[in-house]
Structure 1
Amino acid sequence: MSRRWLVLLVTSLAVYMVFLDGTIANIAFPAIRRSFPTASLATLSWVLNAYSIVFASLLLSSGRVADLVGRRRIFFAGLLVFCAASAICGAAPTEGVLIAARAVQAIGASLMLPASLALVLAEFPPTMRATAVGVWGAVGAVAAASGPSLGGVIVDRVDWRWVFLVNVPIGVVAWLAGRRLLREARDDSATRLPDPVGVVLVTVAVAALSLGIVEGTDWGWGDPRIVGAFVLAAVLVPVVVLRAARHPAPVLDLALFRVRSFAVANVATVLFATRPGSRSPPGRCSPRPSPRPPAASPTGSGTAPCWCRARWSSRSGSACT
């Protein structure tokens, strides 16, 4: 097997873990609830919500940082954080520790995902990038789809804690192989850190929107907290866009949205990820955003995914996720 395909294999392990943890915890929810009988359903729902909200809110800025600092460096930092947090999830003595570890796990996931795509793109010539990204995206789709089944087997045969601990050996393999195979890469046009104010604004905007979607059914769509979350997101989105248009190092590259396929793919992904019941724990039915594989062309289709036609950088990959 050639080196480029080995790089794709290593990065795909990370992609698999990221998307697997977006769905595998759902099936373990009843067992987790039995382990923490004094915790309310609303509190335990944050085992799922914390991962989704933190992941969504940090993904874009993580991609920009990877472009500047180095994709390999950020990939390994994310892998280390993700695996360490997974181990803490598996050993969590209280629901508070479990929820906090899930949030930290999402931080690692947001670092790994855009960096992994950029590392793959650097290894493949333009004529093969559509195929490579198709495989990369397909791995994420398989992981998300297999999460409930794999989680059910683990919960039935072992224990719910291994739903999280299973990431540790996978991460060790990815770390050892990646240290030998992955080469550092940066975006030559990224000469400064992304706008720090823009990072804060986009993080708060996405977090507020995710919070409103996640808790709308439980708290009530007319609840002041939900209305406030949506209002905050609605106010911050145009502020983010205006600041990105004027700042020399914007957190969001607006030029990408001039590519019609990129804009359409992002809208479709958001609608799919927030459809009713997409992330509901047992006994609940509410729209829940979750990490989803970005839209990508089928392997060998000859049509590049949206960001492949725009710009080869982890910032575009993260925006399309």
Structure 2
Amino acid sequence: MFWSDKIEQETKGNVFNVEHYHINDGEGIRTNVFLKGCNLWCSWCCNPESQICTPQLVIHNNLCNGCGYCCVSLCPQDAITQEEDGSIVIDKQKCTLCGKCVEMCPNSARELYGKEMSVAEVIKEIEKDSAYYKNSGGGMTISGGEPCMQPVFASELAQAARRRYIDVAMETAGAVPFETLWQVAQYVDEILMDVKFTNDEQFQTISNVPLSVIKENLRKLRENGKYVKMRCPIIPTLNDSDEHIGKLIEWAKELDIKDVDLLPFHQLGKYKYDSLDYEYTLGAFKDMDKKIVEQMKDRMVAAGINACVGG
């Protein structure tokens, strides 16, 4: 056994999804690996299942008919009970996240967000799409959550892909020390960096990290010769201002970043909050008007930046 094979088998991380055939998360056709864990708390997050590092068992109430047939009777830990009103309750102290109820539920009302996987297991899944990568110039994208919350796993995953000549991209918010970011980024071909706010006071509403860290990490990545694309969610009333777009233009020019994606806010992940029993505070928000975002894009293009709406 080669040393690399041993590392790939022994290095493990928490993964909540591997999605095939993405086209907006790096060049060409991608396979996205979503890692659990994030150090930001964005109220508009469309992947709230990524925020906690550990696996989570959830019930999709819109799919559950309260039959209790499989989940209650087949749970090996007797962690699932049915109340008199028919509702299903999970005792999280007893639940071992074995996934038996997920497998047996006839309505797919249960879902296990996250499981431990080795680098070798993930790469085996990634290699299924090798033909697409060769034909489109695509590859693997490490996403999350925040990949740098699992820097050892993300780094080894990137290296394993490169050993197989598979292009690697990473989506990150960059709200970590540069040493941690570079632990992964040095093995990555494309870096898709979220820039959520350009105002430090606003940024402090979602992070304990100063905004200056994000900008400095962008600078250091560029100084180290890394290709960086800024990805900027546009949220109504929060950062859809002319001032914010002007600052994004300043940052892109100052840091020699040629490409920017503007990502209009949407409500597609809203249902997940109910399943996770999380509060969703943006329920009254409307989807961001794409015509307005197109105008923002036109302003950036006029400033010499290759901007795109939606990635």
Normalised to the residue count of structure 2, the TM-score between the two structures is 0.26
Higher relative contact order (CA 8 A, sep 6+): 1
Q: Please identify which structure carries the higher strand content.
A: 2
Q: Please identify which structure carries the higher helix content.
A: 1
